[in-house]
Amino acid sequence: MNSALSILGQRTKEPPISWLMKTALEHPGIISLAAGFTDNPSLPLQEAREVLAEILSNPQRGQAALQYGSTAGDPELRAATAALIRAADGAAATDARYQPDRLLLTHGSQQFLYLVTEALCDSGDVVLVEDPTYFVYLGIAQSHGLRCRAIQMEPDGIRLKHLETVLDDLKHTGAIKRLKFLYLVSYYQNPTGTTTSLAKKAGALELLRRYEKAAGHPIYLLEDAAYRGLRFAGPEVPSALTAAKTARVIYTSTYSKPFATGIRVGYGLLPPELVAPVLRIKGNHDFGTAHLLQKVLADAVRSGRYARHLAALRIRYAAKAAVMKQALERHFPTGVAWDEPQGGMYFWVRTPKQLRTGPNSKLFKRAVAENVLYVPGVFCHADDPIRKKPDHTLRLSFGSASEADIQTGIERLGRAMA
């Protein structure tokens, strides 16, 4: 008998995250430096308790919060979120790009990424991604049958020369007609920790604009700023919205990392022509993100609890990053290199070429035997037919592990490498 599954149902592969979680579960006591979870002890327990009590002790507010909301999201939180992005960018209150009616609240920024992909892409379409990129996004692309082209990275973001080469190539083969957007994880990137400079964002937008004629439609820049709030060093870099002479920027971020991953509310700002299409698709998905959780956030932002919590969190992550850095210096053999992040939750490590890091490598097996888990870098590279995937990198997270576990975990991994 044939399978009853749809093409998408058949095509969608098991995401590497499931395999990593399974490996962790099979080895109780393993120290996971792989998980993208945030720091448990600093989750806003008291803030959430207070806010929930405030909402639920008032019958009118409580009942409204326990009722369905709207597809686009709670008006107060939409306005507050748009204002936060605008303030971070130093833009004027009248700037059309930050108007709340362009902002959608979603179930995590993950849902926003999915909705935008569904609104813009058909199977066979092309998207440009960083090399490496956020591996869960690669799952969305794979599931939808998209063709990814990977753009090389430099310390301040994608290599514009390479972007131009790839755009030229797409033009010559005609595939430019299927190119929909460039996806950038622009702040303390997952997985490399790299932050894209404003000059690179502006340069990328300018290049995309030049190829629109050949494409015959707009080519967007999808800026994923999931870690923007978690800056602990370096300057605040403005978003691509500020660089845009064109209105081609789609901007997304989340309350997951700066507040609580368990609340799982994300958001996105859209160019005007995309608001209704994405909203209609969200209507079919869920006709609105959990209303109570949006109310919790609206209250946390209004009362100042959110800002205070985030300020403390940045100090906390700076300290954890410092612990991981010291442990790396102490325990990793010479020849192994890493980039130091200025925010976010990740260190990206490069091993010598002969020391492979993939899921079937000796190192990975040895690490699991030593009871420590990392994300093999190979998961973060798109299936680009033009280049072979590098297999000598790995991602380490200082998000969820305790300071003691970070130290022990790195010591074990150093032993496995040696």
List of residues contacting ligand PMP (CB under 6 A): 36, 108-110, 134, 185, 190, 224, 226, 254, 256, 261, 264, 266
Q: Which is nearer to ligand PMP, 255 or 364 (CB)?
A: 255
Rounded Cα distance between 310 and 44, Å, is 10
Q: Which is nearer to ligand PMP, 121 or 176 (CB)?
A: 121
Rounded to 10 degrees, the C-alpha dihedral 244/227/186/129 comes to -120
| Minimum distance, C-beta of residue 280 to ligand PMP, in the bound complex (Å) | 21
H-helix or E-strand spanning residue 361: none
Rounded Cα distance between 248 and 260, Å, is 30
Task: Return all residues near 37 (Cβ < 8 A) that are at least 6 apart.
Answer: 261, 397, 399, 400
| Minimum distance, C-beta of residue 38 to ligand PMP, in the bound complex (Å) | 9
Rounded Cα distance between 151 and 157, Å, is 10
Q: Which tokens belong to 191?
A: 């997985």
| Minimum distance, C-beta of residue 168 to ligand PMP, in the bound complex (Å) | 28
Q: Which is nearer to ligand PMP, 225 or 336 (CB)?
A: 225
In 305-392, beta strands by DSSP E: 337-339, 346-350, 372-373, 375-376
Q: Which residue is nearest to ligand PMP (CB)?
A: 108
Q: Which is nearer to ligand PMP, 134 or 306 (CB)?
A: 134
Contact 221, 205 (CB under 8 A): yes
| Minimum distance, C-beta of residue 238 to ligand PMP, in the bound complex (Å) | 19
Q: Which is nearer to ligand PMP, 215 or 226 (CB)?
A: 226
Q: Which tokens belong to 155?
A: 């310390």
| Minimum distance, C-beta of residue 312 to ligand PMP, in the bound complex (Å) | 20
Q: Which amino acid is at 243?
A: A
Q: Which is nearer to ligand PMP, 266 or 414 (CB)?
A: 266
| Minimum distance, C-beta of residue 190 to ligand PMP, in the bound complex (Å) | 4
Please calculate the CA angle 239-241-243 and round it to the nearest 5 degrees.
85
Rounded Cα distance between 231 and 241, Å, is 19
Q: Which tokens belong to 326?
A: 């010291």
Reply yes or no: is the peptide bond before residue 191 cis, omega within 30 of 0. Answer: yes
| Minimum distance, C-beta of residue 321 to ligand PMP, in the bound complex (Å) | 16
Q: Cα-flanking dihedrals φ and ψ of residue 49, to 5°?
A: -65, -45
* Separation of CA 76 from chain center: 25
Which of 158, 115, 160, 157 minimizes the C-alpha distance to 140? 115
Q: Which is nearer to ligand PMP, 148 or 363 (CB)?
A: 148
| Minimum distance, C-beta of residue 230 to ligand PMP, in the bound complex (Å) | 11
| Minimum distance, C-beta of residue 1 to ligand PMP, in the bound complex (Å) | 37
Q: Which is nearer to ligand PMP, 224 or 370 (CB)?
A: 224
- 3-state class (DSSP) for residue 299: helix
DSSP 8-state assignment for residue 41: T
Q: Which is nearer to ligand PMP, 164 or 339 (CB)?
A: 339
Q: Which tokens belong to 45?
A: 């327990």
